[in-house]
Amino acid sequence: MLEPKKIKFRRHHRGNRRGMAKGGDYVAFGSFGLKAMEPGWVSARQIESARITIARVVRKTGKMWIRIFPDKPITQKPAETRMGKGKGAPEYWVSNVKPGRILFEVEGVTTDEATLAFTNASHKLPIKTKIVERREI
């Protein structure tokens, strides 16, 4: 699963999820993309699960890009622990996703295959998504 090799601080604040994505909001590498329509946290496990689902369809004919990386540690205190004694230990990693962000991209597959891959992958994610095509300018 994805996780940073090294970080400056072990524990983060939760932060806010308001607003639209500042970057990564257009299909840059592939022909089709999976776009987030609402804010949320996507965990490393969910990203990996969606990646496997897309890879099953894409196989050797196409190419896939993962445009998000889980760089935010989420902490949890052990069960049945009293209050106080500091913040809990990092348990898992998430990517903070805002609306408009492209999560995955594929190339070298037909429209039907891309739709199938992204539909199956979207079932693995905790946010609403939409399939988009690359726009040529």
Structural domains of the chain, ranges and CATH numbers in brackets: 32-78+86-133 (3.90.1170.10)
Q: How confident is the model over 31-67, as pLDDT tens digits?
A: 999 999 999 999 999 999 999 999 999 998 899 999 9
- pTM summary value: 0.93
The segments of the chain whose pLDDT lies below 50 read none
- Contact yes or no for 101/68 (Cβ under 8 A): yes
The 10 Å CB-count burial string (b at 16+, else e) for 49-81 is: ebbebbeebbeeebebeebbebebbbeeeeeee
* Cα 50 from Cα 131, distance rounded (Å): 14
- Contact yes or no for 72/96 (Cβ under 8 A): yes
- Contact yes or no for 28/104 (Cβ under 8 A): no
CA angle in degrees (0–180, nearest 5) for 66-70-71: 130
Structure tokens at 25: 């909001």
pLDDT of residue 35: 97
